[in-house]
Amino acid sequence: MGVNSYSNSMKIQAEIQMPPLEIHKVRLPPERTTLQKLRHRLSEIFFPDDPLHRFKNQTCLIKLLLALQYFFPIFQWAPLYNLSLLRSDIISGLTIASLAIPQGISYAKLANLPPILGLYSSFVPPLIYSLLGSSRHLGVGPVSIASLVMGSMLSETVSYSQDPILYLKMAFTATFFAGLFQSSLGILRLGFVIDFLSKATLVGFMAGAAIIVSLQQLKGLLGIVHFTNKMQITPVLISVFKQRDEWSWQNLLLGFSFLLFLLTTRHISLKKPKLFWVSAAAPLTSVILSTIFVFILRNKTHKIAIIGGLPKGLNPPSSNMLYFNGPYLALAIKTGLVTGILSLTEGIAVGRTFAALKNYQVDGNKEMMAIGLMNIAGSCSSCYVTTGSFSRSAVNYNAGAQTAVSNIIMASAVLVTLLFLMPLFYYTPNVVLAAIIITAVSGLIDYQAAYKLWKVDKLDFLACLCSFFGVLFISVPLGLGIAVAISVFKILLHVSRPNTLVLGNIPGTPIFHNLNQYREALRIPSFIILAVESPIYFANSTYLQERILRWVREEEERVKANNESTLKCIILDMTAVTAIDTSGIDTLCELRKVLEKRSLQLVLTNPVGNVMEKLHQSNILDSFGLKGVYLSVGEAVADISSSWKAQP
């Protein structure tokens, strides 16, 4: 048995294509001072894109121009602007204005705000963004999710119907803090904070919010007067059926007719993208037709609620309504943070989506500053939280927008509406606004994304479900909190319980890979080769020690059961160990001692630069000896095997 095992060992080792005598020394990285290391680390954290690279070796005048272009992207594309671009931007701007006007009115009602605030929010913020934003296609204005969250969070404490002035103060103050938070993230380059909202949790959150929003619109579709202010699915459904005596067949007929019309036009545009203008024009068409219908039959449609009079004129200043002292300040800050995170996530995601289609780059930190500053300016000009809207941006892109001038054209169209066309909306029925909202949010329910999560990553799918049901049955802000908590838990799970693999040699090559992934990979007799796929930190060091000792025990049991050569050496492949702390170093030291007592040798291979540096500084390498650290697994196997062969 011993002769056969030894010959098999030599045969397998002969297949490893690595010169047995050429053993490379594992080198330390170039020596750097603590200050240099800190500077490099901070640069990697906060400036991964190296935003100052364009300023190198430039004159003062050029640096000034580049600084203006960096902070005001309009200076970058304005010198190259021409009539051809203007024509495209006018068409796209007028097209999104036809969508922005009815959407603005509808989303303001969704936030329990006066409808006129939706138009105000479609005028000032787009102008600010056109100066500061880096996206050419982002259509700026109110969005459904931020409107819903603001309305639900503020309404839990303050009622618009009972105290409209206080409610407006809360809305404007929340918008101010949302903008302050967003711009601070951009200025301090802390954009990675929003990455804690993973795609999986957002899919569930948005789907749940879309259902809640749609159910809330049953109030308008059915003509219910006394309706619950709660945002959970159970009280909403109870309220719908409890108030059956308030249902109006006139609202039902009118509402579902326009809902069918809007859904049909949306389906047409999805099937044939060239007909994007069909769904883009449908909301304004619905508003015009329903307004004419109600006006003509105004003596017979008393049960159909209408918007009523909307004030004409530009945005009135609202800086005097910002609420910085009082018992509701915490509510305003909390609402601002939540809506700020959501709107920022949506805005940057939408901007990057359309930038990728046109092969240009959107600077995330610039976008944070642009969105934040436009919300700060908006809070002082009677606007509430705005960001890049997916529906407006899609229409803007399909209509051929070339630059941010399309936002200026849209804002100009809204300005004309504010100055001259407000009386025309007097007879606009609330029921058609409900239909517009339902159509808009229906696109947030992404069945395909949820199915893909199920197929690819069950843990992501579980996070999606928890977020979805959290929004439906608990509350919108708590649903978002659950989404963030699950995302953080997933990160902690991966950090504290990293993957460990057993490697084998792929015959005829010097490559060692996962035995489970590559069935042809062969074990090396007397060796077990393990790989750790994460940094070794205090959070996972104890787990890794226990898991490695378990691998060793299982290997010894397997060797004994199959009558193979005795296990002598454990090789730890550290290629994927990108960092190590003092707890990790102590774990390696303790592991070596435990294995040494069992007459087993622990060998490290391919430690990366900073890991090797810390191992050297801790003097742990002295205890491993000359044959304790190798550049590759192949060299370790070849050298250690030859040393065994040389032994008498």
Q: What is the 3-state secondary structure (H, E, C) of 485-498?
A: HHHHHHHHHHHHCC
* Average pLDDT, rounded, for the chain: 86
**pLDDT tens, residue by residue, 385-398:** 999 988 788 888 88
Sequence-ordered list of residues with C-beta below 8 angstroms from that of 546, at least 6 positions apart, any chain: none
pTM of the shown model:
0.78
Q: How far apart are CA 588 and CA 602, in angstroms?
A: 9
Of the chain, the percentage scoring pLDDT greater than 70 comes to: 96
Residue 386's pLDDT is 95
Superfamily of segment(s) 497-644:
STAS domain (3.30.750.24)
Q: How far apart are CA 368 and CA 388, in angstroms?
A: 11
Q: How far apart are CA 190 and CA 372, in angstroms?
A: 13
**pLDDT tens, residue by residue, 542-581:** 999 999 999 999 999 999 999 888 999 999 999 999 999 9
Mean pLDDT throughout 229-233? 75
Residue 240's pLDDT is 84
H/E element, 603: strand 601-605
Sequence-ordered list of residues with C-beta below 8 angstroms from that of 125, at least 6 positions apart, any chain: 140, 141, 374, 375, 377, 378, 383, 386
Residue 2's pLDDT is 44
Query: Given pLDDT bands bounded at 50, 70 and 90, which one contains residue 648?
Result: low
Query: Given pLDDT bands bounded at 50, 70 and 90, which one contains residue 3?
Result: very low
Domain coordinates in residue numbering, the chain: 82-488, 497-644
| Residue 103, both tokens | 């959407």
Choose between 66 and 592: higher pLDDT. Answer: 592
Mean pLDDT throughout 256-261? 91
Indicate if the pLDDT at residue 140 is higher than 50: yes
247 within 8 A of 268, measured Cβ to Cβ: no
- Ranking 402-416, 468-482, 571-585 by mean pLDDT, the lowest is 468-482
DSSP secondary structure, 237-298, as one string: HHHHHHTGGG--HHHHHHHHHHHHHHHHHHHHHHH-GGGHHHHHHHHHHHHHHHHHHHHHTT
**pLDDT tens, residue by residue, 26-46:** 888 888 888 888 888 888 777
- Ranking 76-85, 191-200, 521-530 by mean pLDDT, the lowest is 191-200
Indicate if the pLDDT at residue 54 is higher than 80: no
Q: Which residue has the tokens 């290391």?
A: 37
Residue 647's pLDDT is 65
Q: How far apart are CA 121 and CA 381, in angstroms?
A: 9
DSSP secondary structure, 358-415, as one string: TT----HHHHHHHHHHHHHHHHTTT----EEEHHHHHHHHHTT--STHHHHHHHHHHH
Q: Compute how many other C-beta atoms are within 10 angstroms of the C-beta atom of residue 18.
A: 17
**pLDDT tens, residue by residue, 610-629:** 899 899 888 888 888 767 89
Q: How far apart are CA 639 and CA 16, in angstroms?
A: 12
Q: How far apart are CA 3 and CA 11, in angstroms?
A: 12
Mean pLDDT throughout 476-481? 77
Q: In what order do the strands lie in the sheet with 569-573?
A: 512-514, 500-505, 527-532, 569-573, 601-605, 629-630
Mean pLDDT throughout 153-178? 92
Which SS3 state, helix, strand or coil, does residue 513 take?
strand
Indicate if the pLDDT at residue 5 is higher than 50: no
